[in-house]
Amino acid sequence: MSKLPTVCLLACALSAAGAALARPQTLEDGVQLRWNADQYGNHRYTVEVAKPAPAVQVTIPWHRRDRHPEDVATLVVGPDGKAVGNVLRERIDQAEGMLAFEAKQAGTYAIYYQPYVSTGSRNYPTVTYRAPAGSADAAWVKRNRLDDPRHAAKLPQARVIGYQAVDDFDAYTDMERTATPTGVQRLLAANPDRPWLLFPETREHPIRMFSQIPGRWAGRGAGGDLADHALRGEYLSFQVGLWTARAAARDVQVRFGDLHGPGGATIPATRFTCFNLGGIDYAGKPFTDRLDVAQGRVQPLWMGLDIPADARPGIYRGTLTVSADGARPREVPLAITVDTGEAVAHGDDDPYRLTRLRWLNSTLAQDDTLVKPFTAVTVHGHRLGILGRTVTLAPSGLPAQIDSRFDERMTGFAKTPRALLAAPMRLLVQDAGGAHAMNAGGTPKIAVDGPGKVHWQVAGQAGPLRGEVTASLEMDGTLSYAIALTAMQAVKLNDIRLEIPLKGDVAQYELGLGRTGAPAPDSYAWKWNVQNNQDGAWIGAVNAGLEFHLRDEHYRRPLNTNFYHQQPLVMPSSWDNAGQGGITLTRDGARYVVKAFSGARTMAAGQTLHYDLVLRVTPFKTIDPPQHFAERYFHKYADLDQIKAEGANVVNIHHATPINPWINYPFLTPAAMKAYIDAAHARGMEVKIYDTIRELSDRAPELPMLESLVGCRIGGDGKAAPGPCSEVISPGKGGGFSWLQEHLDGDYIAAWHVPENRDAAVVDAGQSRWHNYYIEGLDWLARNVGIDGLYLDDVAYDRTTMKRVRKVLDAHRPHALIDLHSASQFDARDGYVNSALLYMGLFPYLDRLWFGEEFDYEHTSPAYWLTEISGIPYGLMGEMLQNGGNPWRGMVFGMTNRLPWTGGDPRHLWQLWDAFGIGQADMIGWWVHDTPVKTGNPDVLATSYVRKGDKTLVSVASWAPRKVDVQLHVDWKALGLDPSRVRVVAPAVEGFQPAATFRPGEAIPVEPGKGWLIELDAVH
């Protein structure tokens, strides 16, 4: 989601049909009352007053889940819609509220009991609940003797009609109506010797409270069986609530038995899952969670049963057993009736049935197969080949050389490769005896995992340390290193460092380490700082570059886009070394040396440090300008015929629209979405939807279950891993929109909110099983709804998930498209990280960029445009957003803005493209050393769109501080044109340039920050 209201203009725009979601309530007696939630809150009881009275009394059995209702106001509104002034709060607690109020007329009164005030921005609101205010007049209290409880009890009693919420979604469920103190005591008395109690529940009653129990449990008692129905082939989800009433439950375990059915039929225990105790992580690896439940907590244990499609109909009985350290195990009888019908797709077509919980452990597209356009990794000894690049390994397992065969135009490959390294990379351990390079006794042995990946292992030594290197290379150019250095005896070290000696001519540009994209500095020093989301950089030229990141075994992807400081970068203890580590960049003659040092330290015998490293070799792929120019984006939900008439053919559908109402949960209006997409396909258009992972709508039916996924991750060594205990929902201070505060237990980060349809979201963790669900969801959408791709808006997931996204979309859609938008992350709130660097691992699997709000198109250099915005050095092209961008500068990178965004209109440029025939032209950028058209002024750049032998369109843009005159220096032979038979014409383009004609070699005036599109046409 974007950070500023720029995007909100469209992101939050709803049609009238989509906005009216908070509907009026019809009461039992036929009286219809509307209310404004921002004025009165979301909840009320209505009461009937039989006849007017100076004062009446009512007791509201609200069973509230908010812990301190005495601190929250109550508002009484009469039948005339006016607030009642004289209201006395006689007793307010969680169980009930006793009020006395003045009733000047008979009829229905509404008592609103959680009124709030919303402040802050519309998309990140701050909701605070109104404090009680003394509204009762003292004379009224005295006159009606309300200060005398005995007299107050004799007042006329208003009859409670019932509870209503502002809409069905905001209503409290029976699982959120708390037990009374008396009910709790009765329940405990009935179970005197049990430290914790179990409460089976079907999926229809998801547990919503984790620090108190519902009245439903107190009423029926603990224990009992779990009885439910399911179809053959259905995935049945259910829960067992564990309440630690008297003591904590440590190391909770669940054991399943076989289910036995009719005629000796059996459903084996292996078809059960307890999601809270482990599963398959986002990277496809099995994991186990240790679950400890503190005293007084309620822990939902969510189970799944995969019922065989050929199961014999009937009742299947068995048990599950819940155990914990120091307590007697408890059994829960199961009685599952398998009906005669057969579920379609396990029941996944209905999200409310929660069959999709099985998706949390999915491994779909978790493999090493190829993704277009990448080619299989080739192995020739210690030389590895991938698309356009080769990596030659040194005996240490690190790269000895990296070569790129991409040409400068970025549309093909050069005959002569370009070497990136001036010398092999080295990992050095320095002690009193000098610097010792990591070495090994031979060439690394390469193992092939699949066409898209190979790996190798190296064991060696670096001075006093034993080294073990585990590394891999994937088809996209990502090298991943896990480097473990172990002290064979206690040792004192001066430094452990990595040296990356790049060739000087390759190190043209640099971004990262607190610097925006610019020419690579001759000298620069950087230190670790948790306030900054920085652990590496990219250095390179357009057709040859290297990205690097320094990490350790505890790396966890930080939160991004407004939330970095709530889950920041985990400082790698190896590289950081308590603040001693850092990086220096130094231009040294023909070399450009990156030194990542960690400083002096001592190591105990047997101690291991992890110096992990991620490298990415750029470019990832070639660009395809004709394809880019052919795809015209319309970034708004609108009438398809109108969109087509505007000249666009790809539609991005945001959330907060009638066919995609809820942020990052596009499953609740599939019929409407499919109808729109089918209609688009009939018109030769494509439709992509907003769906990403960074926040999750409160409308997701799985949300209560996701709240329950807490526990300490247990690694392969049997030790708990560091990090938050909440798996999917990022822990935080709560707050935000009213629904979140009223229905979640407070341990979350409030995210994007759309006022028009009251959609509120919470922040997702950067790495969790929700990624597995997301991949399955995209597969479902591609198969059942026909989406043509995704619009990604500042995503939180990493390259592992991005690969899977690409695979599932390509598997079902003939021309799947993925574009990524980012607001600039280079600010204090986001840890001064470059958006290009933050998302570079995703770039191989994207089709275009849209960078974005807060990017400065006016006061930044061509180097910044090239490396931070355009995407070209990485194999992508893009578009502009903030204030419509700068159309003149944009065109030298092949960029316009999008329809229908304010601040710019690309339609007139599109028309020029079509009139010129830009789809038949070769794009030769200003960065190409032998570009055929130059201006002679380093502040005025020219990119040529060449239809050789026919005509060329020259895009000229100025970065000069004032108006300048330039001449076009043209290599006519390269264009296939005769300068004596050429017209030099600037066609009129509304909002861009007036019509003009120039003679070859004539001075062309260029205004600061502007430019020209000039056609060089052959005269026949």
Q: How confident is the model at residue 1020, as a pLDDT?
A: 79
- Taking only the tens place, the pLDDT of each residue in 73-130 is 999 999 999 999 999 999 999 999 999 999 999 999 999 999 999 999 999 999 999 9
User: In angstroms, how far is CA 548 from the centroid of its own chain?
Assistant: 23
Q: How confident is the model at residue 152, as a pLDDT?
A: 80
Short-list 652, 655, 673, 674, CA closest to 664: 655
**Gap between the Cα atoms of 52 and 105, Å rounded:** 4
Instruction: Give residue 766's pLDDT band: very low, low, confident or very high (50, 70, 90).
Output: confident
Where would I find the beta strands (DSSP E) of 253-326?
Answer: 253-256, 259-260, 266-267, 272-274, 278-280, 286-290, 298-306, 314-324
Short-list 564, 617, 690, 531, CA closest to 841: 617
- Evaluate whether 782 touches 808 at the Cβ level (below 8 Å): yes
Instruction: Give residue 18's pLDDT band: very low, low, confident or very high (50, 70, 90).
Output: very low
Q: Which residues face 178 on adjacent strands? A: 214
Q: How confident is the model at residue 26, as a pLDDT?
A: 43
Can you tell me the mean pLDDT for 562-571?
A: 94
Instruction: Give residue 719's pLDDT band: very low, low, confident or very high (50, 70, 90).
Output: low
Backbone angles phi, psi at 55, to 5 degrees: -155, 140
The pTM (predicted TM-score) of the whole model is 0.95
Short-list 80, 86, 72, CA closest to 127: 72
**Gap between the Cα atoms of 21 and 41, Å rounded:** 16
**Gap between the Cα atoms of 809 and 159, Å rounded:** 58
More confident call, 588 vs 22: 588
Label residue 21 exposed, middle or buried (CB < 10 Å: 0-12, 13-18, 19+).
middle
**Gap between the Cα atoms of 1009 and 598, Å rounded:** 44
- DSSP-assigned letters across all residues of 651-673: EEE-SSBTTB-STT-TTS-HHHH
Residue 151 scores a pLDDT above 90? no
DSSP H helices in 168-267: 181-190, 215-220
Label residue 493 exposed, middle or buried (CB < 10 Å: 0-12, 13-18, 19+).
buried
Residue 1 scores a pLDDT above 90? no
Q: Residue 43 half-sphere exposure, CB side, CA atoms within 13 Å?
A: 26
Instruction: Give residue 17's pLDDT band: very low, low, confident or very high (50, 70, 90).
Output: very low
- Evaluate whether 547 touches 618 at the Cβ level (below 8 Å): yes
Label residue 171 exposed, middle or buried (CB < 10 Å: 0-12, 13-18, 19+).
middle
Instruction: Give residue 134's pLDDT band: very low, low, confident or very high (50, 70, 90).
Output: confident
Give the alpha-carbon dihedral of 789, 793, 798, 804, to 10 degrees: -10
Please provide the average confidence, as pLDDT, over all residues in the chain. 94
Q: How confident is the model at residue 717, as a pLDDT?
A: 54
Q: Are strands 817-822 and 789-793 parallel, antiparallel or unpaired?
A: parallel
Residue 7 scores a pLDDT above 60? no
Residue 147: Cβ within 10 Å count:
11
Short-list 861, 852, 841, CA closest to 798: 841
**Gap between the Cα atoms of 44 and 62, Å rounded:** 9
Composition of the chain by helix, strand, coil, percent to 5:
20, 40, 40
- SS3 state at 148: coil
**Gap between the Cα atoms of 204 and 226, Å rounded:** 12
- Taking only the tens place, the pLDDT of each residue in 624-647 is 999 999 999 999 999 999 999 999
Q: Token pair of 325, please?
A: 């350290």
Instruction: Give residue 164's pLDDT band: very low, low, confident or very high (50, 70, 90).
Output: very high
Q: Sheet containing 87-92: give its strands across.
A: 53-60, 97-103, 87-92
Short-list 118, 120, 123, CA closest to 7: 123
Can you tell me the mean pLDDT for 278-286?
A: 96
- Evaluate whether 576 touches 878 at the Cβ level (below 8 Å): no
More confident call, 714 vs 751: 751
Residue 152: Cβ within 10 Å count:
18
- Evaluate whether 271 touches 340 at the Cβ level (below 8 Å): no
* 535-to-569, 570, 631, 837, 890 alpha-carbon distances in Å: 9, 10, 35, 10, 30
**Gap between the Cα atoms of 569 and 557, Å rounded:** 7
- Evaluate whether 878 touches 906 at the Cβ level (below 8 Å): no
Peptide linkage before 373 cis (omega within 30 of 0): yes
- Taking only the tens place, the pLDDT of each residue in 495-511 is 999 999 999 999 999 99
Residue 978 scores a pLDDT above 90? yes
Residue 488: Cβ within 10 Å count:
12
**Gap between the Cα atoms of 393 and 376, Å rounded:** 18
- DSSP-assigned letters across all residues of 966-987: E--EE-HHHHT--GGGEEEEE-
- Long-range pairs for 675-678 at CB < 8 Å and ≥24 separation? 676/640, 677/785, 677/786, 677/787, 677/788, 678/786
Q: How confident is the model at residue 85, as a pLDDT?
A: 95
Q: Rounded to the nearest 10 degrees, what angle do helices 770-784 and 670-682 cross at?
A: 50
Q: Token pair of 530, please?
A: 């948790």
Q: Residue holding tokens 């950081």?
A: 576
Q: Sheet containing 43-49: give its strands across.
A: 75-77, 107-112, 43-49, 159-165
Can you tell me the mean pLDDT for 926-951?
A: 97
State the DSSP H helix or E strand holding residue 943, giving kind and residue range, or none if neither: strand 940-947
Interior angle at CA 308, CA 305 and CA 311, nearest 5: 115
Q: Are strands 759-763 and 750-754 parallel, antiparallel or unpaired?
A: antiparallel
Chain length of the chain: 1020
Can you tell me the mean pLDDT for 374-385?
A: 97
Q: How confident is the model at residue 714, as a pLDDT?
A: 64
* 152-to-23, 89, 138, 155 alpha-carbon distances in Å: 37, 12, 15, 5
Label residue 930 exposed, middle or buried (CB < 10 Å: 0-12, 13-18, 19+).
exposed
Residue 316 scores a pLDDT above 50? yes
Short-list 435, 594, 565, CA closest to 507: 594
Q: How confident is the model at residue 716, as a pLDDT?
A: 52
Taking phi first (over 0 means left), then psi (-120 to 50 degrees means alpha), and beta for anything else, what does residue 262 get?
beta
**Gap between the Cα atoms of 243 and 266, Å rounded:** 31
Label residue 98 exposed, middle or buried (CB < 10 Å: 0-12, 13-18, 19+).
middle
* 734-to-43, 400, 462, 539, 730 alpha-carbon distances in Å: 20, 50, 49, 40, 10
Instruction: Give residue 311's pLDDT band: very low, low, confident or very high (50, 70, 90).
Output: very high
* 265-to-219, 438, 852 alpha-carbon distances in Å: 36, 61, 60
- Evaluate whether 1013 touches 955 at the Cβ level (below 8 Å): yes
Instruction: Give residue 904's pLDDT band: very low, low, confident or very high (50, 70, 90).
Output: confident
